Amino acid sequence: MDKQTKNVNMNIQDGDSFFAHELSINFNPLQFVLDFKNITPRIDPRSQESIVLNLKHNVIMLDPYHTKRMLELLDKVVKDYEKEFGKIEKPKQLEKYEKKTSKKSKTKDADNISPSYFG
Has this prediction a pTM greater than 0.85?
A: no
For residue range 8-58, what is the model confidence (pLDDT) as tens digits?
A: 888 888 878 889 989 999 999 999 999 999 988 877 777 666 777 888 999
Nearest to 58 by CA among 39, 86, 28, 37: 37
Alpha-carbon distance values, 72 to 6, 75, 79, 83, 108 (Å): 38, 5, 11, 17, 32
Distance CA 33, CA 37 (A): 13
Residue 63 has pLDDT above 90, yes or no: yes
pLDDT (0 to 100) of residue 82: 98
